[in-house]
Structures are given as structure tokens and as C-alpha cells.
Structure 1
């Protein structure tokens, strides 16, 4: 299932260019065009789900595939030992801008702590 107007569905289909990092039959990982760390890769499911909650409720095995792909991305990028962060943003307050479940893999430098802005 895909959504014709979804940016990430278009990227997965190859209609919008991206820089691939990893892929398999269920997920596609590519470099973020606005990186927030030296390594910033997005891992998306090939099927469209609006957010991580919808994905977890509908297909927990696919959610696990995203996380396992994130671990593989960290290994490939050479950040598995130094540390990395995996993040799902859900909802307006989290800053989500694309409504297709996706996992951010960030690392390659000190990331600081989570917390409030300002």
C-alpha cells in the first residue's frame, strides 16, 4: 500500500531521487537531505503507514524490520561502537513533517541530551 502524494512513497518508488544507504524487501534507508548529525539516515517501510503507532499496531514485524535496519545502518556507517540514536517523531510537537512512518538514525558525533527547546 502506498500513498500517491507521500514524499517517502515517491522516494521508495524511485520517483524522487535519494542517496541510498541500505535496503531489503521491506525497508529502504537513505540519507536525510537536512542532516542533524554527521550521520543522519532515514529508514522507511516500503509500505505506507502514517506513523510508528499505526505501524506497530498493524504490522509489529515490519516495525522490528525498521529497527533492525537501523542497527545495520549504524554498522555500515561505522557508528555502532561510538553510539547512535534511533528516533521516531510522531505528531506536531515532535516536529514530524512527513506523514510516513520513518526511523531516524543519527550519530558520528556527540548528540547531547534530549529535552525542551529554549
Structure 2
């Protein structure tokens, strides 16, 4: 754990958050500044600073995060209408919290 990492503090329950999913390696919670009607964050419990810092041993986390995101999209009823998955990487790519996390956004009305 990084001492000043917001997500590490959330994972360790030092900062309250309502997890909508948790297993031994990953947590999922709602973004406090949503960019869509549905905005979830899929976060590994292991502190990995950025996509640029993943190693071969971290590949399991990445695929697990994508599968969990797919399952959360089904649970939140956006799987059929559509959703986006993305990582922000480094400051120039929009990363604000330097603990890798996958965004799941969706829920826009369809015309």
C-alpha cells in the first residue's frame, strides 16, 4: 500500500465506501464524480501505479478486471444497451489517482 493512495485507503476501509463487488483481489464501487448515469470503478487491491507499471504477473488482474466489468454491466442493466471500458494512463491521459483502475460507464438514454 502506498501511504497517500486514496484507493489503497478505500480498499483498506480507512475511507468509507460502499463496495458493490469485492473478492480477494478486486473491489468495485461507484465513482463519486460520475461522468455518465452509471460510472463504476474496478480497482485491484494490489497497488499498481499505472498501466505503465504492470508486469507479466499482473496480467491476471487486468483480465479479471475486464470480466468483472462485464458482469457489473449485466448486473447494472447496461450490458444490452452498451457501455464503455477505459483506463486513464498518466496525467496526460487523464489519470488523477495513481492506482490502476478501470472505468465502466454507461446508462445513457437511447433515441
TM-score if structure 2 supplies the norm length?
A: 0.91
DSSP 3-state at the match of 1:53: helix
Which stretch of structure 1 is more off in the superposition, 31-40 or 69-78? Answer: 69-78
Partner of residue 19, structure 1 = 18
Q: Unaligned 5+ residue runs, structure 2? A: none
Counterparts of 1:29-108 in structure 2, within 5 Å, are 29-108=28-107
Distance 2:44 2:55 in 1: 12
Which stretch of structure 1 is more off in the superposition, 59-68 or 32-41? Answer: 59-68
Distance 1:21 1:70 in 2: 12
C-alpha contact 1:27 1:43 (8 A) present in aligned 2 = yes
DSSP 3-state at the match of 1:99: coil
Which stretch of structure 1 is more off in the superposition, 11-20 or 51-60? Answer: 51-60
C-alpha contact 1:52 1:63 (8 A) present in aligned 2 = no
Distance 1:78 1:56 in 2: 33
1:50-91 superposed Cα distances (whole Å, 9 cap, x missing partner) = 112323544101111111111111111110100010010001
Aligned residues: 110
Distance 1:104 1:56 in 2: 20
RMSD: 1.6
Q: Unaligned 5+ residue runs, structure 1? A: 111-118
Distance 1:43 1:73 in 2: 9
